[in-house]
Amino acid sequence: MADTDVSKYDLPWYHRLLVKMIQHGPIPRHIAFIMDGNRRYAKDLSQRVITGHMEGFETLINVLSWAKELGVKELTVYAFSIENFKRPRDEVDGLFNLARSKIPLLLNESHQLQKLGVKIRLLGKRELIADDLRTEFENLEKSTQHNEDSILNVCFAYTSTQEICDAVNKIEPGQEVTKELIEENLYTRDCLPVDLLIRTSGEVRLSDFLLWQSQFTCLCFSTPYWPKFSLWDFYGAIRYYQSYHPQMEEMQKLRQLQLR
């Protein structure tokens, strides 16, 4: 990421025109991504699996800039599931080594994150992450903690099941377990509600990701593998959200009536 330059992500005039058109409709404040298809992408190219993950990282950097252009305030990405520990040892090691190589680059280029105004937050069961890698994540969080333009939540060593279990375990004995109390103890307690959840690669499932948070979320299942997820795919997902938005508003109204 040493060559990262914010100007590199400035969009041509025709992209900016499309951005203005899209901005006439409702823009999701919080978008979540299941970044699926890295392995199949690499396999189709007869490359090592880690190649797919490396190119997927570059897609993430692009998505950050596209989201900023539209005024999206928060992104959450499913970077590493607890279930991924069951994958072949060399692939797990490769993913961890990729994170080890990229996070220092992000730290070295943190002034670019400052320009983009991105705050990084790690969500997940931190004690499962190797000590050195966890320290790198925490340094990245610290270096970006004062950025206020947007937030990138990285779900690492995460599953929704584990998140809910951990939230329940934090509740004091004798306290009544309520929806509100569970939400106060989730990893995502400081996050905006998830408006749009995008999964790439054509798979139609959530894979234990943000299950609690997705009750009223617009779900978009996009065909391209994550490394091939393009600006146009991103815009297409936003337009899908905009077409679905009236239904979401009706569901929210019904929910409010039920809570009264």
CATH number for position 207: 3.40.1180.10
Cα separation, 87 vs 90, whole angstroms: 8
pLDDT of amino acid 7 = 38
pLDDT of amino acid 5 = 38
Sheet holding 74-81, edge to edge: 118-123, 150-158, 74-81, 30-34, 196-199, 218-221
Q: What percent of the chain has pLDDT over 70?
A: 89
pLDDT of amino acid 196 = 97
pLDDT of amino acid 112 = 62
Cα separation, 21 vs 122, whole angstroms: 33
Residues in the chain with pLDDT < 50? 1-9
- Please indicate, yes or no, if residue 244 is contained in any of the structural domains: yes
- Please indicate, yes or no, if residue 4 is contained in any of the structural domains: no
- Token digits for 44? 């189709």
β-partners of residue 153 are 76, 121
- Please indicate, yes or no, if residue 127 is contained in any of the structural domains: yes
Prediction pTM value: 0.87
Phi, psi dihedral angles at 37 (to 5 degrees): 110, 0
pLDDT of amino acid 46 = 93
Confirm if 155 and 121 have CB atoms less than 8 A apart: no
pLDDT of amino acid 9 = 47
- Please indicate, yes or no, if residue 19 is contained in any of the structural domains: no
pLDDT of amino acid 2 = 32
Task: Tell me which residue of 75, 70, 68, 71 sits closest to 191, measured CA to CA.
Answer: 75
Residue 69 lies in domain:
24-259
- Please indicate, yes or no, if residue 74 is contained in any of the structural domains: yes
Q: What percent of the chain has pLDDT over 90?
A: 55
Q: How many domains does the chain have?
A: 1
- Please indicate, yes or no, if residue 59 is contained in any of the structural domains: yes
Q: Tokens 């400035």 — which residue?
A: 10
- Please indicate, yes or no, if residue 208 is contained in any of the structural domains: yes
- Please indicate, yes or no, if residue 226 is contained in any of the structural domains: yes
